[in-house]
Amino acid sequence: MRDLREMTLGELEQAVAEAGEAPYRARQVMRWLWTREAASVDAMHEVPARLRQYLKRHFKISRLSASCVERSADGTRKLLLRLDDGVEIESVIIPAEDRTTLCISSQAGCAMACQFCATARMGLHRNLAASEILGQIIAARPECSDNERLTNYVFMGMGEPLANYVRLSNALTIMTAEWGLAISPRRITVSTVGLVPAMERLLADFPVNLAVSLHATLDQLRDRLAPINRRYPLAELLDACRRLPLNRRSRITFEYVMLSGVNDSFEDARRLLRMLAPLKSKVNLILFNPFAGALFQPSPREQVENFQAILLRGNLTATIRESRGQDIAAACGQLYAQRGARIRTEGNPFPGPPARGEPLSPSPFRGRGTQYVPLLLKGKGLGERF
């Protein structure tokens, strides 16, 4: 049974016509879904009874609710959301002086196997439906205090958004449509570890902000930190970034997690400056947030600031992202989505990278429903074809 919260206005107008009702009734239903956030068709009092009965027979309305909300000392809130099949995901509300940001998950788990991310250790359970992506927004709103409201939306939660492009696209259509949530695309950021064909498709379809998780300036290192680099190496990734259809006010944000003794040298900074200088870009330096079994340590603050100074002297905009919600494992790279779960720590879970041109080895993270990187990129039904 299809979810009403996955339908576009045109699709709903067609359904309303099949029920023998006037097209304007579709907008009426949309207002109940997205403005009044109706939990059921029965709550739509202005909708004729005959149409309500038709909708109840042919459609459903999903609604996520938080089974657990953890609150950080800095005001960050992490929501644990249980889906209909028992799978759990996490969303994070991040308050600031001038905005309140919702960090949204696009998959349950992740198949990208990035070494510095706790979510990678879950493996990929499954893609989220558009209604489950949008449901995180509806579930988060009641958790906001009286003097705050959600203003910004970042797809930086669990999963690789562009590996779930069809559902992401559906969700973005509803988020930005005037008959939907009517959110300005400028307030939406989609982050990717570098699925090149989908990056180009995303910005052709939606004028949202793009963030690219870079994290290294050499292929040999990025192969190991973010194995997707073996499929789309740095030269191909940066060439795609040069071709992206950015508007005059837009810049690509490159995210760079600072790992002590791994990618934080002054030579790394100078290489990063040379790589990004030709692009309309800015850099977000991320303090590594440790988790149980992590193989890395965060770079010392002084090293991060010196790294930033090199970029700034080269006229590259560079900011340091302060960690938020670290005390509740809600900071960047810490989402794991199991209450009280212990992240696997035995041994070294990361295989060495294959020689360039060899096939990717399976993700080392094995769990219920886990899918692997090569399957996600090539397999039928797991990723998306571009």
Which residues face 69 on adjacent strands?
79
Complete DSSP assignment for 80-102: EEE-TTS-EEEEEEEE-SS-EEE
Per-residue pLDDT of the chain (386 residues; tens, 9 = 90+): 899 999 999 999 999 999 999 999 999 999 999 999 999 999 999 999 999 999 999 999 998 888 888 888 888 999 999 999 989 999 999 998 889 999 999 999 999 999 988 888 888 999 999 999 999 999 999 988 878 899 999 999 999 999 999 999 999 999 999 999 999 999 999 999 999 999 999 999 999 999 999 999 999 999 999 999 999 999 999 999 999 988 888 999 999 999 999 999 999 999 999 999 999 999 999 999 888 778 899 999 999 999 999 999 999 999 998 776 555 555 454 445 454 443 333 333 333 333 444 433 333 333 333 333 333 333 323 344 33
For 66-378, CATH gives: 3.20.20.70
- State the catalytic residue, choosing from 6, 88, 90, 132: 90
Residue spans per domain, the chain: 2-60, 66-378
Instruction: Supply 117's token pair.
Output: 């991310």
Tokens 């609710």 correspond to 65
CATH T-level topology, domain 2-60: DNA polymerase; domain 1 (1.10.150)
Instruction: Supply 113's token pair.
Output: 């196997």
- State the catalytic residue, choosing from 21, 70, 332, 384: 332
Complete DSSP assignment for 211-243: EEE---SSHHHHHHHSGGGGTS-HHHHHHHHHH
Measured CA to CA in angstroms, residue 6 lies from 93, 133, 234, 311, 352 at distances of: 23, 10, 35, 43, 41
- Which bin fits 75, alpha (ψ -120 to 50), beta or left (φ > 0)? left
Angle between helices 196-205 and 165-176 (to 10 degrees): 20
pTM of the model: 0.85
Confirm whether 90 is a catalytic residue. Answer: yes
* Cβ pair 370, 360 in contact under 8 A: no
What is the torsional sign of CA 58, 88, 365, 258?
Answer: positive
AA letter at 52: R
